[in-house]
Amino acid sequence: MQPAVPSAVDCRGVTKTYGEGETAVQALRGIDLDIRPGELMMLVGPSGCGKTTLISIIAGILDKSDGECRVFGDNLAAMNAAERTAWRRDSVGFVFQAFNLMPALTAAENVAIPLLIKGVPHREALDRAGAMLDRVGLGSRRHSLPSQLSGGQQQRVAIGRALVHEPRLVVCDEPTSSLDHETGHHVMEVLRDVAAVAERALVVVTHDARIFEFADRMARMDDGRITEVTDGARGAAPHGSMQ
Amino acid sequence: MNAIALKMLMGDRLKYFGLIAGIAFATMLILQQSSILIGFTRQTGAFIRDTAQADLWIMDPQVRFSQDQVPVRDTVVQLARGVSGVDWAVPMYQGFLRGKMPDGTRLTLILIGLDDATLMGGPPVIVDGSLADMRRDKAVFIQADKPEKKLMMKRGANRPLALGDRFSINDHEAVVTGTYRGRESFFWEPVIYTTYSRALQYAPPERNSLAFVLVKVKPGHDVKAVQRALEEKTGLAVHTNDEFIRITADYILNTTGILVNFGLAVALGILIGSLVAGQTFYNFTLDNLRHYGALKAMGVSNRQLMGMVLLQAGTVAVLGFGVGAGLGSGMGWIVASQGLAFSMPWYVATFAFVSILSVCGLAAWLSLRQVFKLEPAIVFKA
């Protein structure tokens, strides 16, 4: 019997419909998913299956249509827009497929953004950002602009930005799809080594089979549903729950 | 977040300088057109400003502007002198007369006749000679500023009229005994000063020849009260310098169509400037929508985003205005040094600054609507 572990993410019957009437598109059709603290969960599946919609809901940047979703016990549906914005600021780190680094800011300044949003003084934010860049192996590039960095380096800066404010949840959208195999592998190593701590949950959306080995568990999605939850290469035991 | 906002603004040098250039261009358009209009307006009152020793002007109520000729009876001077609070009252002749320069060049001139005894109402700055030289035989004073424009002898001498020259006014001989410096006037005819009695000799005979009575109010007396008393006593119009300047400007600007034409030019300047500045800033914000989306996803509130966009708008407005005002002033200085109408008082600069700030504010508001509407989930779209 599976031991009761409090969920980092607990979704029950989550649906999402875009549009109305005849033009309505049901992107999620009753998702049940739990992700545990310290776990790296990959959401995999073909394009358009609802992966990005699901992490958008989990990260609190998209409203679900129905069901319930709690992240570390917080009910996102009960929050108003301002509370949810503040919750994202404090609790979520983002890694985007296109990196989304500010081209005019240096690597350190980009990493410092979540701290500046929280009101950390500029100097302190830059110091902490520099320390984070050291951890992702880019300490010597803190003054470089994104345009002066390779794709892999930019994604490592983005990982630093996602982690610098020590969020409890990190969501990554196709973090390696813009990178070659070797670079993508290295980026995932950095993500696993730096981000994966016991108190934090990582959700990685990908269809890049080359990085499946980094998953603790994988949830396969198709047509708005989770069809299968399996242990990944790092998974210790078969604890997948496909509801 | 302010530092991030400014870095976003200045990071792309091409866009940043494009923004500043657009707003500077808009500022220049607004300042130039407004300053030319103000310049024309000021020039209409040049003669009145040059005659600023008096507090009040007595004239026929039908007078519409400073060069209008509706003479009043000569006895008005004595009537005015009898009013309580009047320090002095002197007659002034003004008329458009024909002249002929030594080489035969003909001209139309404005002849001003000053009170023989006091020479009150004379030009503000004497360049050659002294005001007393006006009492010499056949003496007249001509303007020293750019005589080649208004007093050029083009039929042989090929030089402007100068000190010591003899010429004729209405077939009477006149001698240039002095020169003066006056304000650039809206009217293009040369203004020539002489004494009141000599002006009457030059002018064709009329029943009434007194154009104005200039009145100085005694110290300690209320100008408005004296003005009312003079109106009652003479039955004529009595205006302060400012009132007369305004009446003149209103008449000329409205009857010549300058106000409509330059008003339209100013409006076009604002419109074109607004479109250039607004569109450039709006595009800048739209170009950065993806970054604003990322910031929203990361937990930046709409209030913080508003602060960032307004800071960017305010920064480009101030910098663009500074550059535009500098260029506009420089061009204005060149234009004004050529004697053309250009005047940029503080309120025109303030008007331009408020206009530019409003335009950037409007562009920022329109941009913010896009930013506020932005779904942070946009960041997950590749």
Domain ranges of chain B: 2-43+257-380, 73-235
Asked if A104's CB is within 8 angstroms of B12's CB, the reply is yes
Nearest CA in chain A to B376: A61
Q: What is the mean pLDDT of chain B?
A: 87
- Report yes or no: A96 at the B interface, CB cutoff 8 Å: yes
126-185 in chain A: CB under 8 A from chain B: 173-174, 177
Cα angle, residue A134 at apex, residues A129 and A140 outer, rounded to 5°: 95
For residue A144, give its domain range. Answer: 9-231
- Give B-chain residues touching A173 at CB under 8 angstroms: 380
Residue A243: the pLDDT is 32
Distance between CA atoms of B77 and B58, rounded to whole angstroms? Answer: 9
Best A18, A117, A159 member to test B by mutation, with max B CBs in 10 Å, is: A117
Asked if B299's CB is within 8 angstroms of A89's CB, the reply is yes
Q: Are strands B125-128 and B56-59 parallel, antiparallel or unpaired?
A: unpaired
Query: Considering the domain boundaries, does residue A159 fall inside one?
Result: yes
Q: Distance, in angstroms, between B294 CA and closest chain A CA?
A: 7
- Best-predicted range by mean pLDDT among A98-102, B221-225, B368-372? B221-225
Query: Considering the domain boundaries, does residue A47 fall inside one?
Result: yes
Residue A208: the pLDDT is 81
Query: Considering the domain boundaries, does residue A156 fall inside one?
Result: yes
Asked if A122's CB is within 8 angstroms of B375's CB, the reply is no
Query: Considering the domain boundaries, does residue A168 fall inside one?
Result: yes
- Best-predicted range by mean pLDDT among A13-17, B188-192, B285-289, B339-343? A13-17
Note whether ipTM > 0.95 here.
no
Residue A1: the pLDDT is 46
Distance between CA atoms of B160 and B379, rounded to whole angstroms? Answer: 75
Mean pLDDT, residues B37-50 taken together:
84
Asked if B291's CB is within 8 angstroms of A94's CB, the reply is no
Per-residue pLDDT tens digits for B174-183:
999 999 988 8
User: Nearest CB to A96: which of B4, B301, B380?
Assistant: B380
- Give B-chain residues touching A177 at CB under 8 angstroms: 382
- Give B-chain residues touching A104 at CB under 8 angstroms: 7-8, 10-12
Residue A242: the pLDDT is 35
Asked if A102's CB is within 8 angstroms of B8's CB, the reply is yes
Distance between CA atoms of B176 and B156, rounded to whole angstroms? Answer: 19
What does DSSP assign to residue B72? B
Asked if B382's CB is within 8 angstroms of A174's CB, the reply is yes
Query: Considering the domain boundaries, does residue A242 fall inside one?
Result: no
Nearest CA in chain B to A173: B380
Residue A5: the pLDDT is 57
- Best-predicted range by mean pLDDT among B8-12, B172-176, B279-283? B172-176
Low-confidence ranges of chain A (pLDDT < 70): 1-5, 233-243
Of A237, A214, A236, residue with least CA distance to A44: A214
B325-328 long-range Cβ contacts below 8 angstroms, 24+ apart = B325/B27, B325/B31, B325/B349, B325/B352, B325/B353, B327/B24, B327/B28, B328/B27, B328/B28, B328/B31, B328/B32, B328/B35
pLDDT band (50, 70, 90) for residue B234:
very high
Residue B15: the pLDDT is 82
Q: Distance, in angstroms, between A102 CA and closest chain B CA?
A: 7
Asked if A109's CB is within 8 angstroms of B12's CB, the reply is no
Task: Find the CATH number of the domain harbouring A95.
Answer: 3.40.50.300
| B103: helix, strand or coil | coil
In Å, the largest CA–CA distance within chain A is 55
Structurally, chain A folds into a number of domains equal to 1
Q: Are B69 and B76 in contact (CB under 8 A)?
A: no
Q: Distance, in angstroms, between A92 CA and closest chain B CA?
A: 7
Asked if B7's CB is within 8 angstroms of A56's CB, the reply is no
Residue A123: the pLDDT is 92
pLDDT band (50, 70, 90) for residue B364:
confident
| Stronger pLDDT, B195 or B26, i.e. the higher one | B195
Q: Distance, in angstroms, between B322 CA and closest chain A CA?
A: 24
- Report yes or no: A103 at the B interface, CB cutoff 8 Å: yes
Residue B87 pLDDT > 60: yes
Asked if B297's CB is within 8 angstroms of A94's CB, the reply is yes
Task: List strand residue ranges (DSSP E) for B267-376, in order.
Answer: none
Distance between CA atoms of A116 and A109, rounded to whole angstroms? Answer: 9
Task: List strand residue ranges (DSSP E) for chain B, in order.
Answer: 56-59, 86-100, 106-114, 125-128, 139-143, 152-153, 159-160, 166-169, 172-181, 191-195, 212-217, 237-240
Residue B382: the pLDDT is 53
Of B37, B42, B35, B41, residue with least CA distance to B331: B35
Q: Are strands A225-231 and A217-222 parallel, antiparallel or unpaired?
A: antiparallel
Query: Considering the domain boundaries, does residue A243 fall inside one?
Result: no
What global pTM score does this model have?
0.71
Distance between CA atoms of B201 and B169, rounded to whole angstroms? Answer: 10
